[in-house]
């Protein structure tokens, strides 16, 4: 069910949500959190699609904040809030509200969002693109227990990582780090099997890949060994090598959803290691809302 509201306010939006929920028979008691997505019109569709898929695992109220910029100077200063309320099959397993903010309202997005938050539920803010320089100091970021950015979506990923390291606050995370979870799990399992000390490491990836940079920093922080960065044609991370006294532990994923794991003295094995979708990454981030200390240590390593 969809309800369109023009030149509205938060009170009318809350009323529309209740009416839509009654009409489709959807209770609110199953909602576990509020997910606030701050994006532009160009990226809104993909972000909402990913959030709806993640909501199958984490039923939530999704508030999509879209700041609109009028063409004429006069219209640019006129405050207006338009909304689209989606409940039921149009919003996955939760409910979605698209908020289009104009003029002065766009500069006070937190005052619009605050009355729409689910009571006594965690708040997560996700910037698919154009995240603030200091997410925890942003008016919307200050409302959240978890703040999700994506350095893969910026022009200078390594510069963005440096900015994230300088401004890190507990609750910050980045999808560049989330993409590494299968890699880190597989590497930890390989070390458990090899039972050998690591003397060196290398990460192979496309140039300026933020996930590869975080993986190299994670190696340096955890293993205290020199880490070589090798540039390849990609896509993303293509291989990881760890030197040991017994030989080289290697994971190769040149392309496709599978990787080859080589451990000295053992046969090479084929492992599943696909590039995950944005919906899968968001779903993983919503599973834990406590500070990610491993991410913080890797982010700050060498800074």
Find the mean pLDDT for residues 11-27: 85
Please report the DSSP string for 176-222 in residue order: HHHTTHHHHHHHHHHHHHH-----EEEEEESTT-HHHHHHHHHHHHH
User: What confidence category does residue 285 fall into, taking pLDDT thresholds of 50, 70 and 90?
Assistant: very high
Chain centroid, CA 29 distance in Å: 25
User: What confidence category does residue 112 fall into, taking pLDDT thresholds of 50, 70 and 90?
Assistant: very high
User: What confidence category does residue 92 fall into, taking pLDDT thresholds of 50, 70 and 90?
Assistant: low
pTM of the model: 0.92
User: What confidence category does residue 52 fall into, taking pLDDT thresholds of 50, 70 and 90?
Assistant: very high
pLDDT at 253 over 70: yes
Q: What whole-number distance in Å separates Cα of residue 128 and Cα of residue 150?
A: 6
pLDDT at 287 over 70: yes
Q: What are phi and psi of 257, to 5 degrees?
A: -90, 5
pLDDT at 236 over 90: no
Cβ neighbors of 116 (< 8 A, separation 6 or more) are 10, 13, 14, 17, 34, 61, 63, 97
Q: What whole-number distance in Å separates Cα of residue 164 and Cα of residue 155?
A: 15
User: What confidence category does residue 30 fall into, taking pLDDT thresholds of 50, 70 and 90?
Assistant: confident
Q: What is the pLDDT of residue 26?
A: 66
Chain centroid, CA 158 distance in Å: 17
pLDDT at 247 over 70: yes
pLDDT at 32 over 90: no
Portion of the chain with pLDDT greater than 70, in percent:
94
């Amino acid at each position: 069910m969809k309800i369109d509201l023009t030149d509205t306010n938060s009170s009318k939006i809350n009323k529309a949500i209740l009416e839509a929920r009654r009409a489709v028979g959807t209770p609110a008691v199953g909602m576990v959190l509020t997910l606030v997505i701050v994006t532009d019109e160009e990226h809104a569709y993909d972000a909402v699609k990913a959030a709806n898929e993640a909501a199958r695992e984490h039923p939530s109220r999704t508030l999509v904040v879209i700041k609109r910029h009028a063409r004429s100077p006069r219209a640019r200063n006129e405050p207006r809030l338009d909304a689209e309320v989606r409940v039921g099959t149009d919003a996955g397993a939760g409910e979605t509200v698209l908020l289009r903010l104009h003029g002065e309202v766009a500069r006070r997005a937190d005052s619009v969002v605050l009355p729409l938050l689910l009571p006594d539920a965690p708040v997560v803010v996700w910037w698919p693109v154009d995240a603030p320089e200091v997410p925890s100091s942003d008016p919307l970021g200050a409302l959240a227990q978890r703040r999700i950015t994506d350095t893969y979506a910026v022009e200078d990923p390594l510069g963005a990582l440096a900015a994230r390291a300088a401004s890190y606050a507990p609750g910050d995370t980045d999808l560049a780090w989330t993409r590494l979870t299968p890699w880190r799990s597989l590497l930890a399992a390989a070390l458990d099997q090899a039972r050998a000390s690591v003397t060196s490491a290398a990460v192979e990836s496309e140039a300026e890949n933020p996930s590869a940079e975080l993986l190299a920093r994670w190696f340096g922080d955890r293993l205290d060994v020199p880490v070589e960065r090798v540039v390849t044609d990609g896509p993303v991370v293509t291989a990881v090598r760890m030197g040991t006294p017994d030989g080289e532990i290697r994971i190769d994923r040149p392309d496709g959803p599978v990787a080859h794991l080589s451990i000295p003295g053992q046969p090479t094995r084929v492992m599943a290691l696909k590039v995950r979708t944005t919906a899968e990454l968001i779903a993983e981030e919503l599973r834990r809302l406590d500070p990610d200390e491993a991410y913080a240590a890797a982010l700050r390593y060498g800074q």
